[in-house]
Amino acid sequence: MKGKKMDLKSYFEKTRGLGILSTAGSDGAVNAAVYARPQVLEDGSLAFIMRDRLTHHNLQSNPHAAYLFREDGKGYKGLRLHLTKIHEESATDRVRDLCRRCRIDDRPDAVRFLVAFRIDRELPLIGTGDSPDYPAVGD
């Protein structure tokens, strides 16, 4: 590993921006979807709450994903995270607790999945981590 690992829990709690989660199916077809900031779990893994749509479907056959997060404001600050799915659950108290804006009680028929990922690589939004502000992690 190069550099010091960023405190992602604090970063995602405090930093506003736009997130894109990209996946690919078993046929190699790529999908990119707008996703909220992830939850950082106790073990350091990242979790997203998702519906059973294309992103979730792709993760059933290909556990790899990439999350791009661009911070609000001027310039191009943010992160790129290479991820591997490690766990999934639905209809649990944890899904309900972690769902920020799902309004599960308003739509009981809408199944939500908590999908957790290991972080394989952490990069700045631009470049390869040569900046002291955004060191590369996981080389």
The domains of the chain, with CATH numbers, are: 10-124 (2.30.110.10)
pLDDT recorded at residue 112? 86
Q: Is residue 116 pLDDT above 70, yes or no? A: yes
Evaluate if residue 61 carries a pLDDT over 80.
yes
- Over residues 119-138, the mean pLDDT reads 72
Buried b (16+ CB within 10 A) or exposed e, 89-98: eeeeeebeeb
Cβ 45 vs Cβ 86: under 8 Å: yes
Please give the Cα distance from 84 to 11 (Å, whole number). Answer: 20
pLDDT for 139 beyond 70? no
The residue assigned the tokens 């294309």 is 54
pLDDT higher than threshold 80 for residue 16: yes
pLDDT: which is higher, 46 or 111 = 46
| Cα separation, 96 vs 88, whole angstroms | 14
> What is residue 138's predicted lDDT score, i.e. its pLDDT?
47
The structure's pTM equals: 0.83
Confidence of residue 2 (pLDDT cuts 50, 70, 90): very low
